[in-house]
Amino acid sequence: MTLPPFPTTRLRRLRATPGLRSMVRENVLSPADFIWPVFVMEGTDAEEPVASMPGVMRRTVDRIGQAAHEAYALGIPAVCIFPYTTMDARTEDCALAWSPDNIANRAIAEIKRAVPDMAVMTDIALDPYNINGHDGFVENGEIVNDRTVEALVKMALTQAEMGADILGPSDMMDGRIGAIRAALESAGHQKVTILSYTAKYASAFYGPFRDAVGASSALTGDKNTYQMDPANSDEAMRLVARDISEGADMIMVKPGMPYLDIVRRVKTEFGVPTFAYQVSGEYAMMQAAAQNGWLDHDKVMMESLMCFKRAGCDGVLTYFAPAAAKLLNG
Of the residues 112, 154, 191, 200, only one is catalytic, namely 200
Query: Which of these, 256, 200, 206, 207, lies nearest to 230 by C-alpha position?
Result: 200
* Distance (Å) of CA 68 to CA 2, 52, 108, 162: 50, 22, 11, 16
Look up 191 and say whether it is catalytic.
Answer: no
How many angstroms separate the CA atoms of 179 and 151, rounded? 11
Query: Which of these, 51, 287, 229, 144, lies nearest to 304 by C-alpha position?
Result: 287
> How are beta strands 142-143 and 138-139 bridged, if at all?
antiparallel
How many angstroms separate the CA atoms of 277 and 266, rounded? 14
**C-beta of residue 30 within 8 angstroms of C-beta of residue 264:** no
Look up 267 and say whether it is catalytic.
Answer: no
Bridge partners of 80, per DSSP, are 37, 121
> How are beta strands 315-318 and 142-143 bridged, if at all?
unpaired
Of the residues 112, 223, 254, 267, only one is catalytic, namely 254
**Which positions are annotated as active-site residues?**
200, 254
